[in-house]
Structure 1
Amino acid sequence: MNIKTSKNISGIGLAAFTVASALFLSGCGNGAGAPNSSEPEPTASSSQQESSMDQEKLLDLSERLTDSLGTSLGQTWISDGKLHVSTTDESKVSEIEAAGAVPHVVDYSAADLNEAITKVMEWQGSLEGPLKTAIHGYYMNPDDGGLTLMVDVGQFESIEKLFNEQKPIGDIPVTLKKSAGPASPAMMTKP
């Protein structure tokens, strides 16, 4: 199993980017520490407007590629002003490039990774005591095409050891990161 541990969060997932963009576009934080001036403040600079339009175009492109790639889609994310798209089907690389995005070929699709998250939650739910609430969050990791698990600092070594021994998601790459977040039991929703 490919398990990495880290203290830093790298790569921006599309969902995180969308939330950050929404906060930015909503003007969250405007006025805090604003200088006193008799000149009227512009509502948005031209570079901010261009950036917002670029982000909208990238999000639209993400939706189109998500639809066209279907089950071969890994994930999409925006980094350095470019849309990145991962796929499990190497024949889709030219389609991704032609659309203006940066392609990445990965071993696991979005469906595979969502299934792996379900398995992690089931595994976590089977643990005893504080380990049952030691994993605070899960997300797809664009850096390695696997998952990142946010693990309680006090239970980190125990979860790491058990995860290595029991391999609840097989060979899917996993990065464990220390988290001071709130304890959260695994919650399963069955169809």
Structure 2
Amino acid sequence: MTRTRTLFQNSLKLTGAAALILSLVACEAIFGPPTYPVNNVSDGDTINVKDDGGKNISVRFACVDAPEIPHTNKEKQSKKTADKNQFQWGFKAQQRLQELVKQGGDRVRLTITDTDQYGRKVSEVRLPDGTFVQEVLVKEGLVLVYREYIKDCPSVAIVEQAEAEAKKARRGVWRDTKFVEPWDWRSASK
């Protein structure tokens, strides 16, 4: 706290943009990074938030891939066992994510690592209390580590450990012998 007070006192000697930037850094040191209100949970690994300017931002979770939910009428009406299974797990992941978001007061903290081909911000997502959302979902067997993009994951060790625990305990998709990994399901559905 003394260091923050010194930073603040020194910022009083500065003027203009330098003082503002230093004040913002001091505020973040005291209060933590900003939180964003969540507008909706699109599926098990995508949310929409609003920035300070009121702009909607689509956020794709870094490190993980969730089972799919149906997007088209054809998918919604599919009678294929693989589709039904994929969507069942997709809805479970989406529902659990909604519960976590609500637990965080409908607010999240983002660590943006990239922007994907669809313009979504790829991000690690935490609740205001620091709970790492991807870790929870992986540990519960509701989403999987997305190895194709793992190089962009700052918390790779955390999600890999969570997945090892889920596999060993046979939680979620790891107990379902009919489950098809989402990337394989998408590939087969094309």
**TM-score normalised to structure 2 length:** 0.24
Higher relative contact order (CA 8 A, sep 6+): 1
Q: Counting helix residues as a fraction of each chain, which structure ranks higher?
A: 2
